[in-house]
Chains A and B, each alone.
Chain A
Amino acid sequence: MNVRRPLALIAGLVLAASAAPLSSPAADSTVVISQGVDPVTMDPLQRTITPTTNAQLNMFDTLLRHDRDGKLIPWVATSWRRAAPTVWEFKLRHDVKFWNGDPLTSADVKFSIEKIKDPAEKSEQGPRVNTVDRIETPDPYTVRLVSPRPVALIPGYLWLTMIVDGKYWAEHGNAYQAEHPMGSGAYVFKSWTKDEELDLDVNPNWWHGRAPIEHVIFKPIPEAASRVAALRTGETDLITNVPVQDQLQLAAGRNTQLESARSVRVLFIAFNTLKPGAQDNKLVRQALNYALDVPAIVKTVLGGRGYPLASPLPPNFTGYDPKIPFYTHDLAKAKALLAQAGYPDGKGLELVINAPTGRYNRDKEVAEAVAGQLSETGAKVTTRIQEWTTYVNQVSQRALSPAYELGWGNDSYDADNTLTSLLSSDARLSTYSNPALDKILTDARFELDPLKRQALYTKALTIVHDEAPWLFLFEYEDLYASTKRLQWQARPDELLLCDEMKLSG
């Protein structure tokens, strides 16, 4: 055997490696963004996964946008109004063009929404538009969405509905869209190598004005520690889901900075009141809420990155009421309530908290901390941790009992989605049933007067607070980190809109 040849190969490899450009620091006009996963498709009418939406929203326009406070602002639609009790009317801009020059008209809006509604498309976005019965297009720049009953929520749900070029779609067919998008947004699709990188170029003709950053690359890095390392070497400019334990190091980094936003995602522990057990007793549920010290959990487990909740809704949501009180930590009161419920000093009370691992930030650790605090009542509290895919199957079959942890991100900023999906009797995820609450939630969904609607939600939240179907935990704060040259403010809806970013210098 000739041993010289492999040695020469090694030497060659080393030389080649040292000659090749190392960590390719992003070119001046290019920003590299690293999320944990790659987009799954370029077709914007299919999925609802945040990393996919994040890539697509930079290429496609929507009728409306949410600003950072959750307020709806005009986008492709310049104005919107209720033309009749069951009709929402949107007036469109006249200067929006797809990258191929096709004008964006009401026909494209109609095409996009009908595509999502078509059962054959199997779109996950169906629930966003299922209250729309039909779409009328009286002229190229007017769209009317008609519902069978008056609905208050339609504009809010349209924010993430992206508009595709109907003509282009009809020419090329469905399958083609998954890899060859045609949008009208701030950035033009250039190329996509799956799990490697998605390259976008600025759209020089964007109706909103050319975005400040010329090129954007989405480069997924699944492992959190590797994402942090790639940011520190300058291989990437912006990373999502920063581990809490890395925040201090990144905040103090020579070339890195931390960015955060109060998230729309809340974490809670629900009681399965549909199954028999101590948890179907209201006094027990209230007692356990009093036994919790949520601010302490936020401080120790989340490094302070969270906001305790008094009800299922964060403060900037329609329907939130600041008068709903918190369950403040009061162990004596908790013990008194437990004694009243027949569990003096917690004796005889056993509670298992189910929780997923790796799905939400510090999900397992939060459940363990909660169990620890609840044990102080004298009850026997344990956790049962499972991997997400196994867990979610049981969540959707309402099989987890007596208590289970779940997170909820509602990007409509409206009480309806959270309360109806999680607490109305017939919702797939609800393990609580109360006909009085059901009626209020249905009335609120179809109530058009904002004041009357708010009054209904106040009533609903009062019931929820008193009945305590959950252990109310907190609203997350999302952590991002970027290189210092990137100027950007994180959004509460976890979205990365590159037209809102710029480079310093």
Chain B
Amino acid sequence: MWVVAGVAVTVFIILHLSGDPAAVMMPLESTPAEIAQFRHAEGFDRPLWVQFGTFAWNALHGDFGDSLRHGEPALGLTLERVPASAELAFTALALAVIVAIPAGIVAAIRRNSALDVLARLFALLGQSTPVYWLGIMLILIFGVQLGWFPVSGIGGLSHLVLPAVTLGLFSSAKIMRLTRASMLDVLSSDFLRTARAKGVGSLRLILHHALRNAWLPIITVIGLELGTLLSQAIITETIFAWPGIGRLAVQAIYDRDYPIVEVVVLLSALSFVVINLIVDVAYALLDPRIRYE
């Protein structure tokens, strides 16, 4: 909880030092009196520590205030968009894992073969391709030219394909690279040589003995990637008009809509904390040597 509290304080201070929301929210022709009235009504004319005290007290009671742009409770507006963001992030991660882990294993087993070179090329391209470029390219090729998938908005499974591939590619490349490295480490270890000498079948050797020992770093990176995917979704959601938290956050930052930005950042921090917790629990499940007292 200290992490979340620390994030809350930092975000509050940075946001309030970064500019006056009245100048952005009010029409340009407003008079100084109208601007002053807005600042007073929203409490922006009070000392910063008083504003923070009120914010913290209300936040502890689940009240993050009304969005300056929408005039509705910020928490509700943000939570409404969680399912769309979660759907995209989990699908992207699932696609990434499904592609990356088998590819990583194959690349490790067939080290320096054509397959390995291909996998490494995929890792290089996947991690160096900018998301916005990839998104637009996929739209042009699979949406406009081939007409296979819709290019914007949320809907059936077909709407999910292009944004999930765009979002998942980077993670896929990273997980693939790590799986390959981790497997190579394990494959050259003594216990595996012993197992092979004892005549353990090669599929069982890889899946049961090698992969099980290579799991820990892979699980860690998958967990961290989920957190990253939630934040990277900002670009993907904007390109594909996906109605998630990322898009809400971008607009809120443009508008200096403090309540929304605070809720989004706190939610992200909270999700990182929860994901780390899940990863820690997963360690214990996967590795019998790890026990939490």
Residue pair B150, A23 in contact (C-beta under 8 Å): yes
Q: Report how far A18 CA is from B24 CA in the complex, Å.
A: 45
**Which candidate, B107-115, B151-159, B273-281, is the interface stretch facing chain A?**
B151-159
Distance in angstroms from A421 CB to nearest chain B CB is: 4
Residues A20 and B156 in contact in the complex (CB < 8 Å), given A223-B238, A396-B28: yes
Q: Decide yes or no whether A9 CB sits under 8 A from chain B.
A: yes
Is the Cβ of B243 less than 8 Å from the Cβ of A229? no
With both beta carbons as reference points, the residue of chain B lying nearest to A223 in the complex is identified as B239
Interface positions of B from 37 to 92, Cβ below 8 Å from A: 37-38, 41, 69-72, 77, 80-81
- Are B243 and A127 interface neighbours, CB within 8 A? no
Q: In the complex, what distance in Å separates the CA atom of A21 from the CA atom of B150?
A: 9
A336 cross-chain contacts in B, Cβ below 8 A: none
A315 to B34 Cα, complex, angstroms:
31
Query: Measured between C-beta atoms, what is the minimum distance from B135 to chain A in Å?
Result: 8
- Stretch in A38-46, A273-281, A287-295, A346-354 with 4+ CB within 8 Å of B: A38-46
Q: Take A22-B150, A393-B24 as given contacts and tell me if A17 and B144 are in contact as well, using a CB distance cutoff of 8 Å.
A: no
Quote the shortest CB–CB distance from A226 to chain B (angstroms): 5
Interchain CB contact under 8 A, A37 and B98: no
Q: Contact flags (1/0) for A12-46 with B, using CB distance below 8 Å?
A: 01001110111110000000001001001101001
Question: Considering the complex, which residues of chain B in the window 232-251 have a beta carbon less than 8 Å from any beta carbon of chain A?
Answer: 238-241, 243-244, 247-248, 250-251
Find chain B residues with CB under 8 A from A24 CB: 150, 155
Q: Does A436 contact B (CB under 8 A)?
A: no
- The answer on a CB contact under 8 Å between B256 and A389 is yes
Query: What distance in Å separates the Cβ of B123 from its nearest Cβ neighbour in chain A?
Result: 19
**Closest Cβ neighbor of B215 among chain A residues:** A1
Measured between alpha carbons, how far is A364 from B20 in the docked complex, in Å? Answer: 23
Confirm or deny: A235 has a beta carbon within 8 angstroms of a beta carbon on chain B: yes
User: Which A residues are CB-close (under 8 A) to B95?
Assistant: 10
Q: Is the CB of A41 within 8 A of B238?
A: no
A220 at the interface (CB under 8 A from B): yes
A37-B251, A222-B247, A396-B35 are contacts. A3–B256 as well, Cβ < 8 Å? no
CB distance from A38 to the nearest CB of B (A): 8
B287 vs chain A, min Cβ distance (A):
15
- Check if A195 sits within 8 Å of B243, measured CB to CB: yes
Closest approach, in angstroms, between the C-beta of A80 and any C-beta of chain B? 24
A222 touches B241 (CB 8 A): yes
Choose among A1, A7, A41, A427 the residue that contacts B70 (Cβ–Cβ < 8 A): A41
Q: Which of B72, B158, B243 contacts A21 (CB 8 A)?
A: B158
Q: How far does the alpha carbon of A24 sit from the alpha carbon of B159 in the complex, in Å? A: 10
Q: What string of 1s and 0s marks CB contacts (under 8 Å) between A141-178 and chain B?
A: 00000000000000000000000000000000001001
Contact B157–A429 (Cβ < 8 Å)? no
Inter-chain contacts of A236 with B (CB < 8 A): 152
Judged by a CB distance under 8 angstroms, whether A388 is at the interface is: yes
Bound CA span A280–B147, Å: 58
Are the CB atoms of A195 and B136 closer together than 8 Å? no
Q: Kindly report which residue of chain B lies nearest to residue A174, judged by CB atoms.
A: B71
Query: Is B31 located at the chain interface by the 8 A CB criterion?
Result: yes
> What is the CA–CA distance of A16 and B158 in the complex, to the nearest angstrom?
8
Q: What residue in chain A is nearest B99 (Cβ atoms)? A: A10
Given contacts A193-B243, A389-B254, contact A127 B151 (CB under 8 A): no
**Is A385 part of the contact surface with B, judged by Cβ < 8 Å?**
no
Asked whether B248 lies within 8 Å of A235 as measured between CB atoms, the reply is no
Closest Cβ–Cβ distance, residue B47 to chain A (whole Å): 20
Interface string of A224-236 (1 = CB under 8 A from B): 0111011011011
A286 to chain B, nearest CB (A): 27
Asked whether A119 is an interface residue with its Cβ less than 8 Å from the other chain, the reply is yes
Are A229 and B140 in contact, CB atoms less than 8 angstroms apart?
yes
Chain A residue nearest in CB terms to B150: A23
Bound-state Cα–Cα, A253 to B26, Å: 40
Cβ contact of A233, chosen from B41, B143, B157, B255, cutoff 8 A: B143
**B75 vs chain A, min Cβ distance (A):** 14
Neighbouring B residues of A138 by C-beta, 8 Å? none
What CA separation (Å) do A429 and B35 show in the bound complex? 12
Q: How far is the CA of A421 from the CA of B32 in the complex (A)?
A: 12
Query: How far does the Cβ of B204 sit from chain A's closest Cβ, in whole Å?
Result: 11
A192 to B149, CA, bound (A): 24
Residues of A within 8 A of B38 (CB): 122
List, in ascending order, chain A residues with CB within 8 A of B158's CB. Answer: 16-18, 20-22
**B1-36 interface code vs A (CB 8 A; 1 in, 0 out):** 000000000000000000110011111111110110
In the bound complex, what is the Cα–Cα distance between A193 and B70 (angstroms)?
14
| Contact A233-B150, Cβ < 8 Å, known A20-B157, A127-B34 | yes
A-binding residues in B (CB < 8 A): 19-20, 23-32, 34-35, 37-38, 41, 69-72, 77, 80-81, 94-95, 97-98, 102, 135-136, 139-140, 143-144, 147-158, 160-161, 207, 211, 238-241, 243-244, 247-248, 250-251, 253-256
- The 9 A-B residue pairs with the shortest CB-CB distance, nearest first, are A195-B243, A20-B156, A221-B241, A20-B158, A6-B98, A196-B243, A421-B29, A396-B23, A393-B23
**7 contacts across the A-B interface (CB closer than 8 A):** A3-B102, A222-B238, A223-B239, A226-B240, A230-B152, A233-B144, A427-B29
